[in-house]
Amino acid sequence: MGVNPVLSKRRQRSELAATLVYLAAMRDAIASGLTGLARARANLGPMGTPGVVRGMVLVALCAASLGLTGCPNPNAIGVQQTGTINARCLLASNNQPVVDALVTVNSIQTCRTDSDGKCTIQQVPVGPQSVSAAAAGLQGGPVSTTVIENQSATVSIPMSPSNG
């Protein structure tokens, strides 16, 4: 005796619909602070096949573990403490501002200086940093500074004609 494809598709749709309803109920239960599987299932009635129930139990356990442990420490997942570097590029010969110089922190973060020779680089990792600058025919640095969390470090970069 073969499997009736129409009944199989209906059963699959029914199981899928039941799973979606269950997930919506779990979302609502978690949002209201009620993470228990029994609470979510009480709103749904019979749930169908053992495979669907197994999936629902897995989802409930994952949701419950999030509810019990809370969010992880953001620093444990790679979020860095940062500060800001305010740079000013001046000609070494006469202290005039260098416009449109490219300021670079540790070869990664950059900014361009304005008409006053100033620029700001935000979200620089805390700790020792090396700042350098380059403009048409000019170079400056590296200048060392230390970035402190949620604070601004100010560096002045004297610019001289580049060799080459």
The answer on 138 and 87 residing in a single domain is yes
The pLDDT assigned to 121 comes to 95
Extract the tokens encoding 67: 């509810």
The amino acid present at 65, given as its one-letter code, is S
Strands 82-91 and 118-125 turn out to be antiparallel
The answer on 145 and 81 residing in a single domain is yes
120-151: pLDDT as tens digits: 999 999 999 999 999 999 999 999 999 999 99
Query: In the predicted model, is pLDDT for residue 43 greater than 60?
Result: no
Pairwise CA distance, residues 134 & 116, whole Å: 16
Strands 127-135 and 138-147 turn out to be antiparallel
> pTM (2 decimals)?
0.53
Nearest one of 86, 28, 91, 15 to 55, comparing CA atoms: 15
Single residue among 39, 69, 99 that ends a domain in this structure? 69
Single residue among 69, 91, 119 that ends a domain in this structure? 69
Q: 47 forms bridges with which residues in the sheet?
A: none
The answer on 83 and 43 residing in a single domain is no
Single residue among 53, 69, 85 that ends a domain in this structure? 69
The answer on 123 and 63 residing in a single domain is no
The answer on 127 and 81 residing in a single domain is yes
CB of 121 closer than 8 Å to CB of 109: yes
Structural domain for 86, as ranges: 77-161
The answer on 146 and 99 residing in a single domain is yes
65-115: pLDDT as tens digits: 555 555 544 445 566 799 999 999 999 999 999 999 999 998 889 999 999
The answer on 125 and 62 residing in a single domain is no
What is the CATH number for 91? 2.60.40.1120
Pairwise CA distance, residues 48 & 46, whole Å: 6
CB of 42 closer than 8 Å to CB of 48: no
Domain total of the chain = 2
The amino acid present at 101, given as its one-letter code, is A
The stretches of 70-164 forming alpha helices (DSSP H) are none
